[in-house]
Structure 1
Amino acid sequence: MSSLSIIVPAGGVGSRFSSEEKKQFYQLGGKPILYYTLLRLKNVDSLELIIGAAEEDFSRIEEIVEEVGIKNYILSPSGRERQDTVYNALLRASGDYVLIHDAARPFLSKIILDRCMENYVDYPGMICGVRVKDTAKLINDDRIEQTIDRKRLILVHTPQIFNRKILLKCMSEIVSRGVHITDEAMALEYFGYEVGFVESEWYNLKITTKDDLHIADYILNNFDMLAGV
């Protein structure tokens, strides 16, 4: 049976969040956002949970991890960009596969997780996302260039799961070539590897700006109903 490591990149400064507090530590329902993210991952069968973060935040993260009740974890220093943080953590991972989940995506449900876990060994990479419902258009500055077939578009969420050796090889090349990626699936796509897709749910929200907090409060207060708990 394949083994799994979990990576949570939590080194972001949240430039779009417009707060002196890093968004992963912002209080939601009396707890840091990172608390709920780790809580959703607590019962995943894994070898270790690796959190990539600024070293100045290590002691704070240790307090959150201990409150959640996760025992087997590793703190990994963050890098300049998210991809550097993930790469640093990936070097410390020991599982055959790695599950990567955003620190500021605190509403991962068992439903979504089960979909991702069901067939991930069938692909070098597996991601989840939601299908685009609105009409989608390609723009150039303030002009419309064309309408895109929305049936072929998804909005990408995490978790994303990868064969560790393949992702490490791709990420090593990405780093050495100075290529910028916004998610780890791009590293595999860059080198032509197949990436699978399963459905996520709208409530698997990534908190990016303070406007998202209004939706996050609703999801938090209704999570059991939304996630079918």
Structure 2
Amino acid sequence: MAGAHGIWAVIPAAGSGKRFGGEVPKQYLEIAGRPLIAHALDALLAHPAVEGAVVAIAANDERWPGWTSRCGKLLLRCTGGAERADSVLAALRALPAAVAGDDLVLVHDAARPNLRQDDIARLIAAASQHPDGALLAAPVRDTLKRADAHACVLATAPRDGLWRALTPQAFRRAALTSALERARVDGVVVTDEAMAMERMGAKPMLVEGREDNLKVTTPADLALATYLLSL
């Protein structure tokens, strides 16, 4: 079963968190005495199938704690880029040589602290079997409205077949690297790894994940994540 061994994780963490606001990049905001990125890393590295992780940080990041291991597993760092895809690509290139081209790599948001072990297990199982990889996602349950420039409703959009992409997303190292390189050459800013793969003709599998695997983007998200991690 190709890709079922040698699984590493990649965490793009070079962003400044402009949408959140404040001086501290959101990945370093603390919940329960630990920064968001520590919760995200520990959730990944606690899974027995994950061997290590690479974090892509900004060149001028003075807040990086200098971790070289967590959960008894190797933790590497590299310099990320201006866009998410640049950071993921840098981290893929920084993976140990022992990580083969057909080995799975999990890409996870640094600001998703509430990742559960059963979601990781089901994602790895699906991606190991599916040639195009897989991603955690959640079906859209709310009614969707399309708006004009003045925030007035133009129409109600059908939600059938629509999912919200979550992370981790799991793809084989070589295929994801090629897809991200192609997007860069084409001048396309991809907002997640699955989008890069889709541009190459891939059809990744959607694995329904927990709704509480939220990404901290606003102060309200931080409050909710704090509550969820206290349960």
Give the TM-score normalised by structure 2: 0.88
Contact 2:147-2:155 at 8 Å conserved across structures: yes
Q: Deviations over 1:50-77 (max 9, x none)?
A: 10002343773324x65x4343121110
- The residue number in structure 2 matching 1:225 is none
Q: Deviations over 1:124-148 (max 9, x none)?
A: 1211111111111333424544433
* Unmatched tracts of structure 1, length 5 or more: 223-229
- The residue number in structure 2 matching 1:134 is 142
Contact 1:8-1:102 at 8 Å conserved across structures: yes
- Which residue of 163, 173, 177 maps to 1:168? 177
Contact 2:135-2:168 at 8 Å conserved across structures: yes
Give the Cα separation in 2 of the matches to 1:137 and 1:154: 15
- The residue number in structure 2 matching 1:216 is 225
Higher helix share: 1
Q: CA deviation at 1:182?
A: 0.5
* Unmatched tracts of structure 2, length 5 or more: none
RMSD: 1.8
- The residue number in structure 1 matching 2:195 is 186
- The residue number in structure 2 matching 1:53 is 57
Give the Cα separation in 1 of the matches to 2:160 and 2:201: 22
1:195 corresponds to which letter in structure 2?
P
- The residue number in structure 2 matching 1:107 is 114
**Is 1:22 aligned to 2:18, yes or no?**
no
Q: CA deviation at 1:103?
A: 0.3
Percent identity between the two aligned chains: 32
What SS class does the counterpart of residue 160 from structure 2 fall into?
Answer: helix
- Which residue of 60, 75, 78 maps to 1:76? 78
- The residue number in structure 1 matching 2:204 is 195
Contact 1:58-1:75 at 8 Å conserved across structures: no
Give the Cα separation in 2 of the matches to 1:38 and 1:78: 17
What SS class does the counterpart of residue 151 from structure 1 fall into?
Answer: coil
Give the Cα separation in 2 of the matches to 1:118 and 1:57: 35
Contact 1:97-1:161 at 8 Å conserved across structures: yes
Give the Cα separation in 2 of the matches to 1:71 and 1:159: 18
Q: CA deviation at 1:194?
A: 1.3
- The residue number in structure 2 matching 1:10 is 13
